Structure 1
Amino acid sequence: MRLFLALVPPPELRRRLGELADLAHARCGGRRMPDESLHLTLAFLGEVAEEPADAVASWVRTLAVTPGRWRLDHWGRFRRPGIVWLGASRTDTALQALHGRLWDGLEHRGLTGRPDSFVPHITLLRRADTLETDGLPDVRLDWTYNQLELIHSITDDRGARYVSLARSGTP
């Protein structure tokens, strides 16, 4: 199963991010991410067999996430594969530390794939026709978080959808 660890925005922030995704889509085209799919990926695990996935889910339930606040104030883009995203103009040391802590735990459990770098972001568009974000509105949103989720990405004839398998700090 295809898995990742993520922070999931609360409903009001997710709604606001969806509005910004609409604006970005009107300007840049491409495929807009559905509101229910908006998240911040902390660790992409890729394909994981059932037994290690169960072990990761059990581990995630034992984790305590230090409460934090992430300031979203920067439009960004990745040329390949044409992604337009929203993130922070400054490095967030708390998110960087959480990312590193998660990968330390994952590697301890035999999972690999730690990336060379980590750019916290929320993907709003994929395969954008243009990556020109000038003219999009200034953004200043605060996201208070205290929990992460292990998410199963399922692709079928209805497209991609995400199912939460475990949340941190839940027995």
Structure 2
Amino acid sequence: MRLFLALNPPPELRKRLGALADIAHARCGGRRMPDPSLHLTLAFLGEVEEAKAAELIEWVRGLTIEPGEWRLDGWGCFKRPGIVWVGGRHTDHGLARLQSRLWDALEARGFGMRPGGFTPHVTLLRRAASLEVNGLPAVDLTWSYERMELLHSVVDQRGAHYHSLATSQH
């Protein structure tokens, strides 16, 4: 099972992120992420055996994360594989602490090494024809979060779809 830990936006924010994805898609082309797929990845775990997944589900259900707010105020891109995203222009210390603590616990459970660098972002486009984000409209959104989810990524001919396996406590 291909798994990752993520924050899912509340419905109104998801709608606003979808509108930004439409704007970016009109300018940059590529494959627009469907609204239900818009999220912030905290830890990508990759392929996980079912027994380890069951362990993760129980662990996530027992977790309580520190609530926080994330300010999304900028556009960005990753050249490979042509990703256009929105996120914060400045380091969000709350998200950085959350991601670091999650990786501390994951490493203690034998889930490999944390990746280098953490750029909190919401991917809006993949395989964009243009990565020119200058001139896109200003972004000023606030994302209040208090729970995270363990998501299962299922890939088919339509692309990736995410299914929640567990949600942390509130």
Length-normalised TM-score, structure 2 = 0.98
2:67 & 2:155 partners in 1: Cα distance? 32
1:69 & 1:139 partners in 2: Cα distance? 15
1:87-110 Cα distance to aligned partner (Å, 9 max, x none): 001000110000010011111111
Q: Which amino acid aligns with 1:36?
A: P
Q: Is the 8 A contact 1:6 1:39 kept in 2?
A: yes
1:163 & 1:137 partners in 2: Cα distance? 31
1:8 & 1:89 partners in 2: Cα distance? 20
- Counterpart of 1:93? 93
Q: Is the 8 A contact 1:45 1:113 kept in 2?
A: no
Query: Cα distance, 1:156 vs. partner?
Result: 2.2
Say if 2:133 is the partner of 1:133: yes
- Please give the secondary structure, in 2, of the residue aligned with 1:137: coil
In the alignment, structure 1 segments of 5+ residues that lack a partner are none
Query: Cα distance, 1:120 vs. partner?
Result: 0.3
In the alignment, structure 2 segments of 5+ residues that lack a partner are none
Percent identical pairs in the alignment equals 65
1:133 & 1:79 partners in 2: Cα distance? 12
2:134 & 2:106 partners in 1: Cα distance? 38
1:78 & 1:156 partners in 2: Cα distance? 24
- Counterpart of 2:115? 115
Q: Which amino acid aligns with 1:21?
A: A
Query: Cα distance, 1:130 vs. partner?
Result: 0.4
C-alpha root-mean-square deviation of aligned residues, in Å? 0.9
Q: Which amino acid aligns with 1:165?
A: L
- Please give the secondary structure, in 2, of the residue aligned with 1:70: strand
Length-normalised TM-score, structure 1 = 0.97
